[in-house]
Amino acid sequence: MSPFYAATLVVLGLAPSLVWLSFYLKKDCHPEPKSLLVKAFLMGIIISPLAVLLQLGFSEGARYFFDKVPDFLQQGAPAFFLWSSFVEEFLKFFAIYLVVVRSPAFDEPVDAMIYMITAALGFAAIENVLVMFGLISGGIGTALNTLALRFVGATLLHALASGLMGYFLAMSWFFREHKKKLLMFGLAIATLFHAAFNMLISFAQESTNPVIGLVYTTFLLIILAFLVSILFDKIKERDMHQLT
């Protein structure tokens, strides 16, 4: 594979995340420092290998306690989807905790949602790049079709689930005495939405009528997108009310 071809695949893989990022950055009335946004995006990329290791370690850990991995702990089982989703949502939050939360630029509650979405899109970007390289042997058409589905599916799901987590991080701005509870609840909600999406995708792939699964995932994303949009407005309203 030529360097130019490889670079093209990387750009294509990054494109869905960058498009969604440009959309959500418009939600912030006071633009964030580009350097910090880049750090959040890159940290989302950097922590992704750790997610893979922890997800693979789930089955290996189960094998340590059992002679063989029980069915309910196998990859593709609900317990695995929950663990996998929890790992990803926690690591995306951890990425923001490392590079953003203690920064002076983190000076508005809505920033929590913006930066969480940014890190999530970085995480999704590296997934998309790896998908492009993995599917290119099947032809550019197959790779591009999959990328298009991920644009309105997995990439958006990452952003929305982390947007939910960002909302509860933002709420901890107002209720500092309940910060831990809010963060734990936000992580749980983000994990459940993420796991539900993954389980529906799995159902669609295994079903004799995959259209039904795709309808369910689309419906879930529409609900989640609507909810995150409302939460953006709620955080802004609360912040304005507090300032006045």
pLDDT tens digits in sequence order for the chain, 244 residues long = 667 777 888 898 899 999 999 999 988 778 889 999 999 999 999 999 999 888 877 666 666 666 665 555 667 778 889 999 999 999 999 999 999 998 998 989 999 999 999 999 999 999 999 988 887 777 777 778 888 888 889 999 999 999 999 999 999 988 989 999 999 999 999 999 999 999 988 887 777 677 777 788 889 999 999 999 999 999 988 877 776 5
Which among 150, 160, 157, 153 has a CA at the least distance from the CA of 230? 160
What helix, strand, coil percent values describe the chain, rounded to 5? 85, 0, 15
Q: Fill in the amino acid letter for 201.
A: I
**Is 58 in contact with 68 (CB distance < 8 Å)?**
no
